[in-house]
Amino acid sequence: MTEPSKIRSFDVAPLIGTAVEADIETLLSGDHAAELRELLERRGVLVFPRLHMSKEQQLAFSATLGEVLIQGSKQVLNISLDKNENKGAEYLADYFKGSFFWHIDQTSEDSPCRASLLGARNLSDVGGETEFANTYAAWDALPESEQRTYEGLRVVHSLEAAQLYITPEPTVAEMEGWRKIPTKVHPLVWTHESGRKSLVLGSTASHIEGRDLSEGRMILTRLREWATQPQFVYQHRWTLGDLVIWDNTGTMHRALPYPFDSGRLMTRTTLKGEEVLA
Ligand code: OGA
Ligand code: MN
């Protein structure tokens, strides 16, 4: 009889992030998929140090965890700021610069993606760490009186709000391009099917519906500042071959700036949203 395959895990910070040690074969077997999904939902981020999966393996592993999204005809996307890496889709490099600011992916959708996996193929000599903030933990830690004032608020999300961070003086054509993606209104507090609650914030959050603009923007700023305090944040300093998964429904993330020509190259696979943000 063969031994059941084993994985070992340990928390990297009290409120976010767990490192998982397992070999590629064990992960590809799918035997631990349910356990890993549960761990991801509870811990926000899973780190597999120096795993060195090939792109094909990353895709196969992703498929054990959920339905892999097709993004612009690909299931495995190269994340790079280098225009040569994004041939035929040079605008993507500008788009990825948006990742330098705290955000949640796919807030333009009713059901933002469940999770993404990033595999480190090439690193920048400087910068390029990825930070994650646990938006469940941030909600849980808010004083109850404050929680009561936020519940029920609705936030308008737009690509324009996020792109203004990197292009603060856009052309009309740029603005028109961003506006092709319709705005989306989401609750500020996501009540998940599990009953847990998380904050929905980030660079796409433009303003609070029905509130005075400056008042609404102050609330969003207050909450971003709150949710990105050190106790809610895990910063991943990449080593070649690392694989990191984040729960996009219960965390925000950002990349720390790195030079556009640094050669940093990540491969990303993304799991389809499973729950309407409500
Ligand atoms: C992303 C993203 C951050 C990084 O892929 O959605 O924000 O560190 N990436 O590359
Ligand atoms: Mn992102």
pLDDT tens digits, 5-24: 789 999 999 999 999 999 99
- For residue 2, pLDDT over 70 is answered with no
Output the pTM of the full model: 0.96
Give the ligand at the shortest distance from the Cα of 117.
1
pLDDT band for 3, please (50, 70, 90 cuts).
low
Which ligand 1 atom minimizes the distance to the CA of 98? 7
Give the per-residue pLDDT at 204. 98
Q: What pairs with residue 202 in β-bridges?
A: none
Ligand 1 centroid – CA 96 distance (Å): 7
Ligand 2 centroid – CA 105 distance (Å): 5
Alpha helices in the chain (DSSP H): 24-28, 33-43, 55-65, 91-97, 135-141, 144-150, 159-166, 172-178, 213-227
Pairing of strands 18-21, 45-48: parallel
Give the per-residue pLDDT at 83. 77
Give the ligand at the shortest distance from the Cα of 270.
1
Task: Tell me the mean pLDDT in the region 107-120.
Answer: 98
| CA distances to 20, 107, 119, 200, 248 from 111, in Å | 27, 8, 24, 12, 11
Give the per-residue pLDDT at 141. 98
Ligand 1 lining (C-beta closer than 6 Å):
79, 99, 105, 116, 130, 253, 255, 266, 268
Q: Which residue among 76, 96, 105, 123 has the greatest number of ligand 1 atoms within 8 angstroms of its CB, and so is best to mutate? A: 96
Task: Tell me the mean pLDDT in the region 217-228.
Answer: 98
